Amino acid sequence: MNPFLQLTLTPMLIGVLAACACALPGNFLLLRRQSLIGDAISHVALPGIVAAYLLTGTLSATAMFLGATGAALLAVALIELVRRLGRVEPGAAMGVVFTTLFALGVLMLEQSASRNLHLDVEHALYGNLESLIWLEGTSWSALLDPAALAGMPPQIFRLALVLAGLALFTVTFWRELMIGTFDPSFAQSIGARPRLFNIALVGLVAIAAVASFDAVGSIIVIAMFICPPAAARLMTDRLSRQIWWSMGFASASAILGYVLAGYGPMWFGSPHSVSAAGMIATVSGVILAGTALFGPRRRQNLAA
């Protein structure tokens, strides 16, 4: 028996992977002032997943993934449509669209509740990190045993794949992403196709959100899109360093948050643990508050 491997390692690892997968594209969103796209997308994942369930009748990972991604793309298109036709600022257009789609998801969920749907709004919001355990991990040697590894929660492999894909995209198109972020009109003029990369970025955000959403719930997804990159932005002026900082902050939030949620209440004499998802978001907020108070680059660049 090895309680660390069985009960702690996989949820913690999944938390770290999800946090990093969201924080990586979050850096670009932050600099493009599109941070709340992540917020909107993680809200509309709910109607996407419910619609996929109602259409297919299963809760298979593929159906949920396709449903949520489809809903995210639909939401982005609708936001653009409302912004153009209603001639309102992007924030307001986003508010109109994501609340409507979320309301639609809630209504569909309530209407289908009688059909014994193993999915509820709270699960969608809080996730279920604590349940992603690895019963086969009875000893350290299990880490080298393929049969035991196959018993790991599938989210771990999915998230690792998504994170690797995101990292590959970021490294490959580093120049295009950077120029498109800092100077879209210059990027246009040298043929770096900033609009194409903008769409690609939103697509990646959707994939990161959906992949993490299933494991950790929408509340961490939103927190990880914004808090680690924002804290990292207050540490450095260089984009590459900012990304490394954000990865560090994201991992620290996930690990510390998970530990505090599991063991924190015991220090107060309570036998019950609290929500790991909520605690991870809270820790990322504490880190952000710390950098906002003491970060070396917290102010505007007055000298520049």
Partner 1 sequence: MEILAPLFLQAGYNTALVTIGAALLGASAGAIGSFVLLRKRALVSDAISHATLPGLALAFIAMVWLTGEGRSLPGLMLGSALTAGLGLLAVDWLTRRTRLAEDAAIGAVLSVFFGFGVVLMTVIQTLNTGEQAGLAGYLLGSTAGMLRSEAELIAVAAGVTGAAIFALRRPFTLVCFDPEYAGGRGYPTGRVDLALMGLLLAVTVIGLKVAGLVLIVALTITPPVTARLWTDRPGQMVVIAALLGAAAAWIGTAISASGEGLPTGALIVLVAFALFVISLLLSPKRGLLAGLIRQRRFQTLVHERQGLLAILRNEPIYDSLTLRRLKARGWLRADGQVTPEGLSAARRAEADAARWQLYRQSHPAEAELLSGRMMEPMARVLPPDLLAELDSRLALAAAKRGEAL
Q: Is 298 in the site for partner 1 (CB under 8 A)?
A: yes
- CB of 300: closest distance to partner 1 in angstroms? 5
Stretch that binds partner 1, among 141-149, 151-159, 165-173, 214-222 (CB under 8 A): 214-222
Task: Kindly tell me which of 133 and 224 has the beta carbon lying closer to partner 1.
Answer: 224
Q: Which residues inside 30-89 make contact with partner 1, applying CB under 8 A?
A: 30, 33-36, 38-39, 43, 82, 85-89
The reply to whether 266 sits near partner 1 by the rule CB under 8 A is: no
Q: Judge contact between 297 and 235, C-beta under 8 A.
A: yes
Helix locations, the chain, DSSP H: 3, 10-31, 35-56, 61-86, 90-111, 121-126, 146-149, 154-172, 174-182, 184-189, 194-216, 218-233, 239-267, 276-294
Q: How many residues make contact with partner 1 (CB under 8 A)?
A: 68
Question: Residues 3, 57, 91, 290: which binds partner 1 (CB under 8 A)?
Answer: 91
Report d(CA 9, CA 85) in Å as an integer.
49
> Applying CB under 8 A, which part among 9-17, 48-56, 152-160, 277-285 lies near partner 1?
277-285
Q: Report residue 138 CA to chain centroid gap.
A: 30
Query: Considering only residues 19, 215, 227, 235, which one is a binding residue for partner 1 as defined by CB under 8 A?
Result: 227
Distance between CA atoms of 148 and 162, rounded to whole angstroms? 22
CA distance 298 to 175: 26
* Residue with smaller CB distance to partner 1, 3 or 86: 86
